Amino acid sequence: MSDPTSGQRPGEPASRQTRLHLPGKRITATRGGPVGGAAANPHFSQPVRQIVLMLTVLVLVGVGGWFTYGRILPIFQANLWLNGLILTVFAIGILTCFWQVGQLIRSVSWIERFAERRRNAVEKGVAAQGEAERDSAPRLLAPLAALLGAGGPSAGIISTGAARSILDSVATRIDELRDITRYLSNLLIFLGLLGTFYGLAITVPAVVETIRALAPEEGQTGMEVFDQLMSGLESQLGGMATAFSSSLLGLAGSLVVGLLELFVTHGQNRFYRELEEWMTGFTRVSLAGSDGDGLDQAAISGFFEQMANQMERLQLYYAERDAARDDQALMTDERVIVMAQAIESLAQHGETENQAAIARSADLTHVLNRLANGQDQMLELAQQQRRPSPAADLSGIEAALTRLAADLNDGRDDMVNALRADLLVLTRAVRAANFGDRFRDDLLPDIPEPPRRGG
């Protein structure tokens, strides 16, 4: 279930943020990208540090053997066959450790290529089937390739049981590789003990023969008895040399092989942890137990606890959303009221201007009527006078017409300026209602007042 507080609509990107601005609060919900999953970028480490440590140990062993060559050679020559067998097993143990490191390097390289193909298939829909078929899985990751490769590199979510089965199989194969080096390390100890007991088996009979040789026989001189004693002591010392040389070489070889195995084990454990972390990205958590025949009570409790937390977040989200809607509705009502008042003020101002225009029209009509009456009177006077008379003086009529035209122009300009001021007032009211932009009065243009005319 997705987080209800994310405010995400269907079809929106997962990383999109939804913000709601209110005068007294700000609700911000963010939902990140997919967590883990096949699209997650895996990180697998090559065992470079382990290889460096193993080579360092071998170099130290070689340098120590070079400086103690004069002392080790007689020890080795005490029993060439047994000591040669111990050195052969020691060399096989070293090669086995490096072979395990090589298997680990191949497994890391293969799982990185597999994870890259899987991520491309999930994100971009590009699945290189031909390349996947040519890239054979290493023996260590054969179960993973068999399970995930059945659905192609773009296989989806797997169950917890399948993931656990893969990890158990990989752990079993790693343990099988470790068993080889453990056996070789124990074999070196066994060969050292075998040489010890073999040397003791040679020493004990030599001691018995030496004791018997101490009894002088008839006609035997003291020098002959001393020669027999020297021969017995030589056999005893040869057996002791075999015992101690084989024990020394076996224990030293076991120590070196065990140290190399420790470094290899560290690299294998790190690879196992990284593989487990990568697989958790596309593993579905199920309620079934580890045996698959029942329900895990801990999983059920965790599931219901998660459901309760999500329901609580959902309830909180709806409460905040309702409060935000109420605040937004109040703000909308206030804006509507302000706009209605502005429209009413504009209507009253327009009505006042209309009345003023009507009054000016009435005055103009009165003037025109007076002018018409004057013309009628002049016509009547002209008709009454039979005799010819000089041309009438029309300068007064021309002055009256000029004044009338000026009054009409002034009235029209006053009306246009008044309408412009009313439109600016309405614009200021609308901007203040919708955007909260307090339009200052000093930004209004200066409208010239109409000239005062007398009479």
HSE-up of 248 (CA within 13 Å, CB side)? Answer: 15
For the whole model, what pTM was predicted?
0.51
Task: Classify residue 124 by its DSSP letter.
Answer: T
Dist. CA 13–CA 16, nearest whole Å? 5
H/E run at residue 106 = helix 80-123
pLDDT (tens digit per residue) in 70-87: 777 777 777 788 888 889
Of the candidates 101, 98, 97, the one whose C-alpha atom is nearest the C-alpha of residue 46 is: 101
User: In whole numbers, what is the pLDDT of the chain averaged over residues?
Assistant: 73
pLDDT (tens digit per residue) in 231-285: 666 666 666 767 777 888 888 899 999 999 999 999 989 988 888 888 887 776 6
The listed range with the strongest mean pLDDT (146-150, 156-160, 174-178, 363-367) is: 174-178
Domain ranges of the chain: 48-286
pLDDT (tens digit per residue) in 322-361: 999 999 988 988 888 888 888 888 888 888 888 888 888 8
Q: What is the pLDDT of residue 367?
A: 79
* Least reliable range by pLDDT among 10-14, 61-65, 103-107: 10-14
Percent of the chain with pLDDT over 90: 12
Burial of 178 (0-12, 13-18, 19+ CB in 10 A): middle
Q: What is the pLDDT of residue 151?
A: 47
Confidence of residue 141 (pLDDT cuts 50, 70, 90): confident
Q: Are the beta carbons of 367 and 404 closer than 8 angstroms? A: yes
Which positions ≥6 away from 164 have C-beta within 8 Å?
290
Task: Classify residue 295 by its DSSP letter.
Answer: B
Q: What is the pLDDT of residue 55?
A: 93
The answer to whether residue 152 scores a pLDDT higher than 50 is: no
pLDDT (tens digit per residue) in 182-193: 999 999 999 888
Q: φ, ψ for residue 27 (rounded to 5)?
A: -105, 120
Please give the single-letter amino acid code of residue 238. G
The listed range with the strongest mean pLDDT (23-27, 143-147, 251-255) is: 251-255
pLDDT (tens digit per residue) in 202-241: 776 766 666 666 666 666 666 766 666 666 666 666 667 6
Q: What is the pLDDT of residue 37?
A: 43
For the four alpha carbons of 325, 331, 335 and 337, in that order, the dihedral sign comes to positive
pLDDT (tens digit per residue) in 416-439: 788 778 777 777 777 776 665 555
Give the C-alpha distances (Å, rounded to integers) separating 30 from 8, 184, 231.
Answer: 8, 57, 93
In the block, tokens 């895990």 appear at 296
